[in-house]
């Protein structure tokens, strides 16, 4: 979905992943990152009936929303991702739906080990191009709107 009017998003927020039954995951907005990423573990590829199947778990045991579920998909890509230090890494990428500001967006996320990062989700330019303007002085604008609408 692309917005006709840009929505201002802050430097950090909370995002929902309805296809994984995850809500209010902390995310960092990063205009320097081309793609978005979500913290995963136990990523494996297996062959089933002649097709590759990607299996993964979102988050990790230390995260309060970790649900121990293993997800499987045949719809994935391998992507080369370059860090801000210039180091390249091959990652798996999936396309999923996310909710920000009460609107659903479909976008690609790479599956990454973000255990050492403060935020389990990183939002990059590919999602931001769908109609967002970043104001680094603000935070949790989508989440605050969500809370206000539930009162």
Which domains, ranges and CATH numbers included, belong to the chain?
7-39+77-150 (2.40.70.10)
Strand partners for 17? 22
- 4 falls in which pLDDT band (50, 70, 90)? low
Q: Specify whether the CB–CB gap between 3 and 104 falls below 8 A.
A: no
The share of the chain scoring above pLDDT 90, in percent, equals 83
- 1 falls in which pLDDT band (50, 70, 90)? very low
DSSP 79-129: EEEE-TTS-EEEEEEEEEEEEETTEEEEEEEEEE--TTSS-SEEE-HHHHT
- 2 falls in which pLDDT band (50, 70, 90)? very low
Cα separation values, 77 from 64, 83, 90, 108, Å: 28, 18, 10, 10
The 10s digit of each residue's pLDDT in 37-90 is 999 999 999 999 999 999 999 999 899 999 999 999 999 999 998 877 788 999
């Amino acid at each position: 979905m692309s917005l006709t009017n840009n929505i201002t998003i802050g430097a950090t927020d909370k995002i929902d992943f309805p296809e994984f039954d995850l809500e209010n995951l902390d995310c960092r907005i990063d205009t320097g990152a081309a793609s978005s990423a979500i913290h995963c573990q136990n990523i494996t590829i297996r062959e089933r009936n002649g097709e590759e199947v990607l299996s993964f778990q979102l988050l990790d045991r230390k995260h309060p929303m970790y649900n121990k579920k293993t997800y499987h998909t045949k719809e994935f890509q391998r992507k080369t991702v370059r860090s801000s230090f210039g180091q390249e890494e091959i990652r798996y990428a999936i396309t999923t739906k996310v909710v920000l500001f009460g609107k659903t967006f479909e976008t690609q996320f790479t599956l990454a080990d973000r255990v050492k990062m403060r935020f389990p989700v990183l939002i990059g330019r590919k999602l931001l191009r769908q109609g967002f303007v970043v104001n680094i002085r603000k935070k949790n604008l989508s989440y605050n709107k969500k809370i206000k609408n539930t009162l």
